[in-house]
Structure 1
Amino acid sequence: MITLQEFLEEKVRLPSPKAIAIRILEAIRKDEDSFAELANIIKSDPVLTARILKVANSSYYGMVDQVSSPGQAISVLGTKALKNIALSFVIFDAVKVTQQGSFDIDLFWRRAITSAVAAEIMAAEVGFRSDDIFVTALLQDFGVLVLFLSCGAAYTEVFDAKRISGSNLQEEETKHLSFNHTEVGYQILKSWNLPDTICEPIRDHHSPKKPGQTSTAGLVNLADRIASIYHGKESNRRSIEARMLLNEHYGINDEHALELIDTIGIKAREAIELFAISPGEMKPFSQIMQEANTELARLNYSYEQLVLELTQAKRNAEQMAVELKKANDSLRDLALRDGLTGLYNHRYFQDALASQLESSKRYGHMVALLLIDIDFFKKINDTHGHPVGDTVLQEISTLLVKLVRNCDIVARYGGEEFAVILPETGITGAKVLAHRVRRGVEQHQIKHGDIPIPITISIGVASSESSGAEISRSMLITQCDQALYEAKHNGRNRVEVASGEMKEKSLV
């Protein structure tokens, strides 16, 4: 389990903001509102100019007169509003990516935009002044996006665990990762020099310090609940929770709460289209409520029947979550395993070696590598046929796993070649293990029917121990490959150590 700082330094895969984004960020950080400067920044990007004018002339703002220039848009909407609209567009464009596995990118942004609209409308409703609330709500779950893009498979496991346990997302993130998405979002956006008025509420919005008082974090939390009505499951229950919160914390009666939620849905749909995203199956709030009431009327069950059905539904949902987790685990495993041998594949080997070398550099540990080649494998295929050759590969794979340590990583490098990563192992330990593996294979008996098939292997050994400077993944593989070539060139069935390290060569 890595720390948040290690994740930010080693794992984050996110493009840097474009030049125009940096200029807008710099303008936002200034205390004074520079009308001309902001207009010039926007005008320097024709695409951004067109989008700003489309927003200014949309029904979202309901302007009577046509807005035809960034300067006019600023004078009508205000400098602060335009800064945040422009910032929303440039950050959206900076991290706009295609579909990532099971993570629905469009749904993420639909919910984020709906939340931003809800926060802006609710702030105006309760008389709370916050120039940054739209972009704050838009980016409240930015950390979720970063985590999916940077470590999709591991983060999918967090969501699987959340479905099964019923706990909230932050608890499962902390349990699996040692940090949560609000901390990730806060740190990334701080590194982009966004102001604290945006970053701090993003960090705190899931647990506002004063939930009963009006604050940016509290309004963002409320906006997220309202957005979940349109883009989550159990819309009716979420609607009831949001309306109770509106009444208890903001003194808004139920009739007016329903009107506000409906207005938010209408405005959100317009805003989503301004971001050039399809609203998907987003339904009007009135339709959501009508469908919920129709379903309740159709059920017409007694209280006891409802309890029984809900209990069974909960069991089914839990079982489905467990089965989904097993399926996801199986798919992840298939993506990382070689189909014939069951060993890790070449892709996993490359990633694992890079990770071990990074750990070696950070903590001063050593890491060693073995490259193994089955001697005269082509002759086995030519003599006995390829099915027998496949059987040999499978048996040798199983044997290699038995001969190495539990902490070692065995992979099929390609063809009849295998690789073994030896964490926290110097050259001496690597040599000892390599000789043990070579002898173990030589002594192992493989038969085709009653015909014995003698098998030997050649092994190249390399280690980060004596490289002096930091060694790269490609350099370590090259050294090890050269040592393997020497082992084959010098007669096979032997171990050779990469030049520059211990040069002893032995058959025993």
Structure 2
Amino acid sequence: MPPVEVTTLDALADRAGRLYSPPAVALEVLRLTDDPKIDGRALCKCLEGDPALAGKLLRVVNSSLYGLPRQVASLTEAIALLGVQPLKLLVLGFSIPDDLVAAATGEAMQLYWTETLTAAAAARQFAVEGWGRLGDEAFAVGLMQGVGQLVLFEQFGEAYATLVSGAARRESKHTLEGLERDALGFEHRELSAELVRRWRLPESFATAIGRQVDGLPLEDLQGEDACLAQALRLGNLLTRLLLYRDLESLPKLINAAERYANLNRRQINKIVGSLCEETRQLAEALSAPLIEGLDYQQTLVEAHARLSLLSEQSAVRMMGMSRSTEEMDEDERLCRDLLLETRRLSAAVRVMVAGGLEPRNDPSHEEAKPARARRGVPAPVEICSRDWLLEKTDVAIGDSRETRSGLVLSVVEASCGDAKADADVIALRQWIDESPWASDFVRAVWAPTARNRAVVWMTGIDRIEVNRVWTAVGIALQKATPMTLDVGVAGVAHPTKGFQSEGLLTAAERCLAGAIAQAGPSVKSIEVF
């Protein structure tokens, strides 16, 4: 990013503060709700003066974010069910000036809204799950923390948009915040906190946002400030992991969730389970564009699998501890939910990928292997149940029908050597990510079903092209590694409303059986009608 002439945070905040201000209705709502005697009728009358804002509020209230028992048709009903405070906080969250919202365009705008809505929804869930309160405040703070980014879009245009897009594609080893600091001397959340103060929004908002900068400590905060800042920190860590696949965020998230809110991994998984749908519904309510192909549950599964490659020694110590049957059962369920445990040493021995995985010589793995054998703890075999696969396929079919694009489902199996011993499907995925065919799998969704097998969904590409890609991958894989790849492919060009997921999955599995019967890497496919 080229040098910029604006050199101080105060100068930019002063300019933005003079040019932009929250909508008049939002400021009036803030004034009204400062009066302890405010009633719902006065708030409702104020909101009705902005039909667009009222529409957004009703759509969000009716989304899965609130989970109300019935649809709400009017602001009067919304206030009766939720109360004045939640409506006030939603209004504050939506109080970003319209001119600023229009500043981000294209891919940068999609990234902005995807990150903002995901973090806001996640912060709300963490506040509710961890503290049992302040969920609406956390949501509003999550929406407001990105306002500084909008100012940077408006001020620097394409130069800043290019920086955002480049950081998202991992073209740089630095985070967006690090790049911002190098270029501007501050990061966008510092600017957000300053603008929130200048707009005279609640000071707790500015405190929570400001404390996100550079991972500032939160332990010294008290009461509402602590809850909001900590919930927002957890929401941002989870968003960084899910949206940008930042593996370092996973252990930070697990540790912070336990330290701040006494939340365990299963509770984090529960939050992730509904997060994608909540983000989509919020985007629809706000007419905000999102990045295509979001699958947060799948990303979390992959992140845990990759983390297990880096933390085998810790896992062995954990399994060596005295544990109750209930705890061991929970560990087994977590393994099945997240991904099969893989050992760094075994993955490195099986796969020597040029330009990809390198041999790992961590001696701890020589000790870890017999330790696990002595305890008789087998690696989990099946990761995703068939019911889950069918449910996932139903979702993919629905998306395909809505976008009027075809759907291709592949079942892949990797083996090693002449004896066709099980290979590691995670190592296969990593090899593909480093290969010339990585771009063909950008929108692919993977679901491992065994140590050496996975189901892969691909949209926006026809079956013949998928066959070509898998064939090329199989040939190159066999030349570069000890692995052999067999693939069964089933495609549907125009899924009808009653199209059954069982038929597509079964067809791909039958094709895989035919491929395995052939010598060497093989791809078999069929079109399903």
- Are 1:198 and 2:205 an aligned pair? yes
- Across the aligned residues of Structure 1 and Structure 2, the Cα RMSD in angstroms comes to 3.9
Of the candidates 296, 301, 311, which is equivalent to residue 347 of structure 2? 301
For residues 50-65 of structure 1, the aligned pairs below 5 Å read 50-65=55-70
Q: Structure 1-normalised TM-score?
A: 0.53
Of the candidates 277, 282, 289, which is equivalent to residue 271 of structure 1? 282
CA distance in 1, matches of 2:113, 2:269: 24
Question: Contact 1:230–1:282 (CA<8 Å) still a contact in 2?
Answer: no
CA distance in 2, matches of 1:52, 1:107: 23
Superposed displacement of residue 158, structure 1: 6.2
- Show the counterpart of 1:253: 264
Superposed displacement of residue 297, structure 1: 7.5
After superposing the two structures, state which structure 1 stretch, 108-117 or 264-273, moved more. 264-273
Deviation string, structure 1 residues 252-293 (Cα, Å, up to 9, x no partner): 222232122223333233222222234442534333345665
Superposed displacement of residue 311, structure 1: 7.3
CA distance in 1, matches of 2:167, 2:241: 23
1:108 maps to a residue whose letter is Y
- Are 1:230 and 2:234 an aligned pair? no
Question: Contact 1:230–1:265 (CA<8 Å) still a contact in 2?
Answer: no
- Are 1:216 and 2:221 an aligned pair? no
Of the candidates 110, 113, 116, which is equivalent to residue 114 of structure 2? 110
CA distance in 2, matches of 1:237, 1:174: 20
- Show the counterpart of 2:404: none
Which blocks of at least 5 consecutive residues in structure 2 are unaligned?
A: 306-338, 360-429, 435-529
Deviation string, structure 1 residues 459-488 (Cα, Å, up to 9, x no partner): xxxxxxxxxxxxxxxxxxxxxxxxxxxxxx
Instruction: Classify 1:204/1:106 alpha carbon distance in 2 versus 1 (closer, same or farther; 3 Å).
Output: same
Q: Structure 2-normalised TM-score?
A: 0.51
Instruction: Classify 1:79/1:140 alpha carbon distance in 2 versus 1 (closer, same or farther; 3 Å).
Output: same
Structure 2 residue matching 1:50: 3-state secondary structure: helix
- Show the counterpart of 2:142: 137
- Are 1:127 and 2:131 an aligned pair? yes
- Are 1:71 and 2:73 an aligned pair? no
Instruction: Classify 1:52/1:310 alpha carbon distance in 2 versus 1 (closer, same or farther; 3 Å).
Output: same
Of the candidates 264, 276, 298, which is equivalent to residue 287 of structure 1? 298
- Show the counterpart of 2:195: 188
2:131 maps to a residue whose letter is G
- Show the counterpart of 2:334: none
CA distance in 1, matches of 2:29, 2:358: 53
For residues 363-378 of structure 1, the aligned pairs below 5 Å read none
Structure 2 residue matching 1:95: 3-state secondary structure: helix
Question: Contact 1:12–1:146 (CA<8 Å) still a contact in 2?
Answer: no
Structure 1 residue matching 2:22: 3-state secondary structure: coil
Deviation string, structure 1 residues 430-475 (Cα, Å, up to 9, x no partner): xxxxxxxxxxxxxxxxxxxxxxxxxxxxxxxxxxxxxxxxxxxxxx
1:302 maps to a residue whose letter is A
CA distance in 2, matches of 1:240, 1:155: 30
- Show the counterpart of 2:151: 146
Question: Contact 2:93–2:141 (CA<8 Å) still a contact in 1?
Answer: no
2:268 maps to a residue whose letter is A
Of the candidates 14, 24, 32, which is equivalent to residue 29 of structure 2? 24
CA distance in 2, matches of 1:263, 1:161: 27
- Percent same amino acid among aligned pairs? 25
Question: Contact 1:116–1:223 (CA<8 Å) still a contact in 2?
Answer: yes
Instruction: Classify 1:289/1:191 alpha carbon distance in 2 versus 1 (closer, same or farther; 3 Å).
Output: closer
- Show the counterpart of 2:420: none
2:292 maps to a residue whose letter is E
Larger radius of gyration: 1
Structure 1 residue matching 2:94: 3-state secondary structure: helix
CA distance in 2, matches of 1:156, 1:50: 30
1:42 maps to a residue whose letter is L
Superposed displacement of residue 56, structure 1: 2.8
CA distance in 1, matches of 2:162, 2:61: 42
Structure 2 residue matching 1:210: 3-state secondary structure: coil
1:283 maps to a residue whose letter is L
- Show the counterpart of 1:455: none
Superposed displacement of residue 74, structure 1: 0.8
- Show the counterpart of 1:432: none
Superposed displacement of residue 44, structure 1: 1.6
CA distance in 1, matches of 2:10, 2:294: 41
Question: Contact 2:94–2:143 (CA<8 Å) still a contact in 1?
Answer: no
Question: Contact 2:131–2:261 (CA<8 Å) still a contact in 1?
Answer: no
Question: Contact 1:21–1:90 (CA<8 Å) still a contact in 2?
Answer: yes
Superposed displacement of residue 140, structure 1: 1.5
Deviation string, structure 1 residues 316-357 (Cα, Å, up to 9, x no partner): 99xxxxxxxxxxxxxxxxxxxxxxxxxxxxxxxxxxxxxxxx
2:122 maps to a residue whose letter is A
1:63 maps to a residue whose letter is L
For residues 461-480 of structure 1, the aligned pairs below 5 Å read none
CA distance in 1, matches of 2:70, 2:105: 42
Task: Give the number of equivalent residue pairs.
Answer: 313
